[in-house]
Amino acid sequence: MYHLKLCKGLSYYGMDGALKATRKQPDVLTEDKAIADAAVSSGFFKLFGEGEAPGFPPPGEVLGHLDPAQLESMTIPGLKKLAGEMGVDIKGLKAKGDIIAAIVAAQVSAPAFDAEALAAMSDEELKALVEEKGIDLTGCETREDALEAIGVALGGSYTMLDLMRE
């Protein structure tokens, strides 16, 4: 199973109806590797998983891994405690680097963005964020449209942003 996420544009309908994604529903699952490869090569989708059906993060969160550089300053007992809290099996690991590698290999979910902070950003700050992350704002005519597109690109959900404006 291949997990694709629309990362460019407002919507995508293609591959003879095999792929349909919108800003509101950016995630697509397909079992066809050729379709997944073609979607990624189109530039409209990013591939998020292969093999078994991926676990989707809760709305407004993204899946990722901890940064090993941030773990370097921790003590071995601190790393062992963190591994235990994360459910990472480190039995038999004694070297700090091995423990860090095991923790970094574990997938974690984290808030994708703070919707209120995003809405409070100045136009200049938003422009810098868009350029840094390579977010496509094609079709966005208002600031609200841009905020929705940025939020979705950062892993948020359209619904969260709609609720934020109410």
The ranges assigned to domains in the chain are 2-49, 66-106, 113-165
Report how far apart, in Å, the C-alpha atoms of 20 and of each of 29, 114, 119 are: 10, 28, 28
The pLDDT value recorded for residue 54 is 46
The pLDDT value recorded for residue 96 is 95
Q: Could you give the 3-state DSSP secondary structure of residue 110?
A: strand
Residues of the chain short of pLDDT 70, as ranges, are: 1, 15-17, 48-63, 109-115, 155-166
The pLDDT value recorded for residue 78 is 93
The pLDDT value recorded for residue 159 is 42
At 49, phi and psi to the nearest 5? -170, 150
The pLDDT value recorded for residue 95 is 94
The pLDDT value recorded for residue 134 is 84
The pLDDT value recorded for residue 80 is 94
The pLDDT value recorded for residue 161 is 39
Indicate the DSSP class of residue 87: T
Indicate the DSSP class of residue 89: -
Q: Give the number of C-alpha atoms closer than 13 A to the C-alpha of residue 129, restricted to the C-beta side.
A: 18
Rounded CA-CA distance 62/129 in Å is 17
The pLDDT value recorded for residue 165 is 41
4 and 44 Cβ atoms separated by less than 8 Å: no
- Please give the single-letter amino acid code of residue 29: L
